[in-house]
Structure 1
């Protein structure tokens, strides 16, 4: 016989599932049709399963005194679906909590409250759609393609029009589509992918993506493909200076270039959330820096703003990459010739020094090194910092938790209090870095912080944000911090 408690639990669970399943199509439509990314306390709900939506609501109880039930947040999502919106990140969890528990309703209806909180959207101009070309289709290129295809729709600000790869053999097009369709780390593509041999294109969830074969940028006239004023995202790593990347600008149909690696010379290295406002309309070439620089710079900024940093050392425990060998073989760099899946490999990283390009106040204060380890994705930065003021572990963790929830860096910095989390749990994280609070060490003016990051997916999410900025699209995060 079923007990009363069992019956109540089963009924409660069924209610949560029902609401989560009703939320899914609304979340998808808001994302595709308006570019609105819905979240609950920083947990993205785009393409989330019903269980993920339930878990996101459950996480509210970790941060707040009261729980937030799905039946309480659903009216806010439903009201959003009836509003005139454009690109934004909207946290319905925080909106609902403020309305229901923090006394911010002020006798307003849900619809009136949302109109007030989302008023900044009305003040923004809607930018023209930006044609995007992915130059190179490796690990980062394919993840960027997935992220851009997610947003395919009539109100998409970034439209993936083409990918450029080196000339291949027969069957190359299907091979490229297959690599986009299946990924050993990030799983199967969420949708439908077909190949159009006649048009030499990949069709994916409504996106029609031309596949252009070329040996160099000078071989391409993008206007022949109906592509104009394009933003070219260079994922190849072949060029990192103005002369090399400037080749793209000589191709017809190209307006701007974004490098997904650290740049040399005077090219701006941008970490979104920290110095993205340095991007000017007249900038033609921008770098999105490295995955490690993106992971550590937001946390370092938060720490420096609150406590000040005298100096420090950053050690990166980084998954192996395509730059390393599967088995021992020749490599031009020291140690990298040894088998990546079998060895921990000490190597260099410029990430610590590169921080100063995005955060000049830390110039000369940080050293860095890296250890490549036998995992295919998700890395960790260990930051040993000497602070200008003293603190303790609880105070520092509480501050970083607040940064992850209510600061202007909340889309870059995530926070976990789990005592069981391991690297594979972070695969697919959309944050630049995730502070592991349980590993934090503080001794007065010395702090050691452990920051996880998905060096592929999390970094690619940062790149897309830079792409929006270069396209003249400021994607607001609401409600405001």
Structure 2
């Protein structure tokens, strides 16, 4: 390019950036007001916009553009968002701004509509959909029994969600009595995390109440030596869901001890259960079976949550005859820093110096949540010296008749569609970068992320590489199960009746 053209390009690009930044700046308070005043959770193709800053909003728009094949930047979606803030007919909704933009504005070649056009179309769509309202009379009390890696991430998520109607309220954490500095040390672990970064907000102490206050949430610290030794009603806690994240009590009898404590109504286990008496639930796959019949549920393992949604989708579309799952899993605090005794084979070897082959119960757990996978899967695991983010390598033999002349592009297109415009968009994400590495997926909220660049198809054999944040992504899945147990399910707009209309505007 000649100097004049380069100068013109520089000017054009900076002007474009400034206009996008200005639009994103205007979106931040609108998104916040919708969340706090109307309980409207704004997303863009399933990616949350609440609590995001200006640059994050631009990046999310850019990320989505790469996968939907449509130009969609803050300057495009801002007019739609502005109209939404003026509508009185929409409240307590999970609103997807990206999908709404496609419904209202159509494809890239469509003439840009005015705000009046947008308002007219939106009002008609909302009337047709008639989103139900959500009763938010009294929040459900949540107790975290244990405050380890998963417990602290669940605390962050619960505090994050407390700004909108407070549907779930973290009331207490239960731990063993530590030193006299115990309260401050527990709070410090919540405030700082070597993997997930700093807590987004402020934390203060009330030593008289033995509690700390995180973003206005008073979190009682209760000391106990057993599940049945707490009287939660003494702290004003009633009808609580106890999330046991200790991993110590895993069968129905021992978990049932929680229910003997006054103030507890349900128990959720953040690990695979022992025995068949505790129902295993994976959000997005079989959470529809949750009912008042059971008081104790298991959320399975992080690996089961990562692979089950994709297996469910692939089996529904193509049929799975058999498969093997190999997980490359980050080390956990169950392993040793240096060689030392461990009851399980190989686990005694140093976690930071070795790759360690070990067993995984993921295949057996998948059979529980997906009975169609019975006797079709095998699985193994390799623990590796990274602190977080794991990788499931799924080798699947699909039904030859249903698979037909399948290609890697077909599989990737299906995975991308699942991540953007399907009921599984919160469980399945998709990335297609040939520079992606494990640390890029720290903090991902999806249960699993399909790496499109690594997909291999040979006839009816498909090999998929699925990344997952085995800490935060799993914690998000646990939260989805807890919300389902508590009957908290925001109506969605656009809803399932609009899927085909949105698909037609996408490049699938």
TM-score by length of 2: 0.90
Partner of 1:280: 291
Residue 291 of structure 1 is aligned with which of 302, 309, 321? 302
Q: Distance in 1 between matches of 2:268 and 2:420?
A: 29
Separation in 2, partners of 1:121, 1:335: 57
Unaligned runs of 5+ in 2: 500-508
- In structure 2, what is the Cα distance between the partners aligned to 1:85 and 1:151? 20
1:61 aligns with 2:61: no
* 1:460 equivalent in structure 2: 475
Deviations 1:94-133 (A, max 9, x none): 1112211247989974334334545657324425411100
Q: Deviations over 1:22-42 (max 9, x none)?
A: 222332343445543322223
Matched, 1:111 2:119: yes
Equivalent positions of 1:6-405 (< 5 A) are 6-82=10-86, 83=88, 87-102=92-107, 109-118=117-126, 122-127=131-136, 128-153=138-163, 155-264=165-274, 265-389=276-400, 390=403, 391-405=406-420
Q: Deviations over 1:290-320 (max 9, x none)?
A: 1110100000011101110001110110000
Deviations 1:27-59, CA, capped at 9 Å, x for gaps: 234344554332222322233232221111123
Q: Following TM superposition, by how much is the alpha carbon of 1:225 offset from its aligned partner in structure 2, in angstroms?
A: 0.4
SS in 1 for 2:147: coil
Q: Which moved more, 1:152-161 or 1:301-310?
A: 152-161
Aligned residues between the structures: 481
Q: How far apart, CA to CA, are the structure 2 residues paired with 1:129 and 1:199?
A: 22
What TM-score, normalized by structure 1, do the two folds share?
0.95
Whole-angstrom distance in 2 between the partners of 1:35 and 1:346: 47
Comparing 460-469 with 103-112, greater Cα deviation is found at: 103-112
**Two-structure CA RMSD over aligned residues (Å):** 2.1
Aligned-pair distance for 1:85?
A: 5.1
Q: Given that residues 35 and 156 in structure 1 are in contact (C-alpha distance below 8 angstroms), is that contact kept between their aligned partners in structure 2?
A: no
Question: What is the distance in 2 between the residues matched to 1:18 and 1:106?
Answer: 19
* Distance of 2:450 and 2:130 partners within structure 1: 31
Whole-Å separation in 2 of the counterparts to 1:179 and 1:443:
47
The 5-angstrom pairing of residues 460-479 of structure 1 reads: 460-479=475-494
Is 1:437–2:452 an aligned residue pair?
yes
Alpha-carbon distance, 1:136 to partner = 0.4
- Which deviates more from structure 2 when the two are superposed, residues 1-10 or residues 257-266? 1-10
Gaps of 5+ in 1: none
**How many angstroms apart in 2 are the aligned matches of 1:434 and 1:471?**
27
